[in-house]
A = this chain, B = another copy of it.
Amino acid sequence: MAMPSRKPYGRSELRRLLEPRSIAVVGASDRPGSLGLRALGNLSGFAGAVFPVSPRLGEIGGRRCYRSVAELPDAPDCVVLALPADAVEPALRECAAAGAGAAVVFASGFAETGGERAAAAQARIAAIARETGMRIVGPNTTGLANLTIGAHVGFAEFPHHHVERPGAIGLVSQSGAMGLALSQAGERGASISHVLTAGNSCDVDVADFVSYLAEVPQAGATALVFEGLEDAGRLADAAGRAAAAGQAVVAFKLARSQPGRLAAASHTATDAGMPESFDALFREAGIVPVSDIEHLVETASFFSRLRHLPRRAARTPRVAVLSASGGTGILAADIAHALGLDMPQPQGDTLAALRAAIPAFGAARNPCDATAQATSNPDSLRRCAEAFLSDPAYDALVMPSGRAGLSPHFAVLSEAGLRHGKPVCVVWMSQWLEGPGAREAEALPGLSLFRSMRSCLSALAAWGRRS
């Protein structure tokens, strides 16, 4: 890949965009369903100043409107442009002249159309960013949200505010819809601190967002999904900053196939590059790839929690599996084997403790089948977890959970994991995907919840490779 054309932006370059004290909405509207009204509505939780800008309206929803950006009482940190494509360029010049720090451009109809005139228009926008130093997100973006301060600069329905919970992650997506789909993890109890979507990326791109998040304490890990990059070296730089901050970047790369690359060209006008070069980039930059996008959030949450554990894994992590069901233990053994993880058999004191804690018809081995009796006897499960976690022969504990409603066990496991400084993962096998106990599990600091055994064990394997 070519040399990076510039360093990734960091917190200093993106502070006015992502930690604004004031936000102006140009193209503010009172028409139901309009992007302008939706963008205003998304700022209801923002404590800073909000300036609707409309040449024809006096006020919207009780907020005073301004006729133009030039008339604002202060230079806005961040400006949302809810305008059609042909109005974008003059508005951006006006924003820059008014001293705005950043602008977010919703309008579609630029390079993604494949037309030459549209591409030229996008290039002129990029030039404004370069020449003025005003940062520009988009065009063709649904926007972004710093949920820790309620600064939601966009028209999509991201989760409204950030609840401080363990395992917080920052989401970065080129595609707005993907960012939205992932951000809805917040509704099932995951902790999302930021949702940052880049769209056509004429100036700020996903690498810049990764770089920014590396300087943000609320995000314990970054989940990234993207199609392609103008400058892959910039992502390597950004990942390096994240690694230096002890923050994992977990990524899913779209447009790996020829048909996918063709589709990407008409989506965000991206040259998606060859998958092999991204595989190499991920490896070299220590970015954790996930094979399926539905595993992205839970894998990033796992790494976010991991940041507070003292322990590093063996290069091939040694995993103990404890279940109340033989079948789920077998599943773990199969997948651990396929992924090259170690599941050593218990010896000595550990073996004796397991034998003492489970029924004779259970299996005092690894995977340990504590049998269904364990679900009505939390002490049995606690003693087995204690035996595995206190044994230096194991790096992590995995517990498949066969049915919803077992959250009291989860609290016991979380506490034990923190005390021993080892990751504890619960794999939610129930097809009641948000059944009782799932949300409570997401809130436990010492436990990572996965809904796929493959996803869980792949995350442990990636942990080993990073250590």
Contacts and interface: CB of A to CB of B under 8 A. Distances in A.
Interface of A: 33, 108-109, 112-113, 140, 142, 157, 173-178, 180-185, 187-188, 190, 225, 227, 254-260, 262-264, 266-268, 292-294, 297, 323-331, 333-334, 336-338, 343, 359-361, 363, 365, 367, 369, 371-372, 376, 402-404, 429-435, 451-454
B178 A263 contact: no
Contacts of A260: 330-331, 333-334, 337
A117 to B, nearest CB: 12
B108 A292 contact: no
A190 B433 CA distance: 11
Contact of A266 (B262, B326, B331, B343): B326
A334 B256 contact: yes
Contacts of A268: 326
B334 A254 contact: yes
**Most chain B CB within a 10 A radius of its CB, from A174, A184, A365:** A184
Contact of A360 (B109, B183, B337): B109
A337 B175 contact: no
A430 B328 contact: no
Contact of A259 (B254, B263, B334): B334
**Copy total for this chain:** 2
A142 to B, nearest CB: 7
A329 B267 contact: yes
Contact of A326 (B190, B256, B263): B263
A451 B433 CA distance: 11
A363 to B, nearest CB: 4
Nearest to A298: B431
Contacts of A333: 255, 257, 259-260, 262-263
A345 to B, nearest CB: 10
Contacts of A258: 337
A343 B112 CA distance: 21
A172 B328 CA distance: 15
A325 B177 contact: yes
A167 to B, nearest CB: 14
B176 A372 contact: yes
A328 B336 CA distance: 30
Contacts of A182: 431
Contacts of A108: 359, 361, 371
A177 B356 CA distance: 23
A180 to B, nearest CB: 5
19 contacts: A108-B371, A175-B325, A177-B372, A177-B429, A184-B431, A185-B432, A187-B432, A225-B327, A254-B327, A257-B334, A258-B337, A259-B343, A260-B330, A263-B329, A263-B365, A263-B367, A266-B363, A267-B329, A267-B330
A374 to B, nearest CB: 11
Contacts of A369: 263, 266-267
Contacts of A336: 259
B330 A181 contact: no
A185 B431 contact: yes
Contacts of A367: 263
6 tightest A-B CB contacts, nearest first = A175-B327, A267-B326, A177-B325, A185-B431, A184-B432, A177-B402
B181 A402 contact: yes
A106 to B, nearest CB: 10
A356 B330 CA distance: 53
A277 to B, nearest CB: 16
Contacts of A176: 325, 327, 372
A292 B291 CA distance: 13
B180 A402 contact: yes
A403 to B, nearest CB: 5
Nearest to A324: B177
A181 B431 contact: yes
A266 B358 CA distance: 14
Nearest to A109: B361
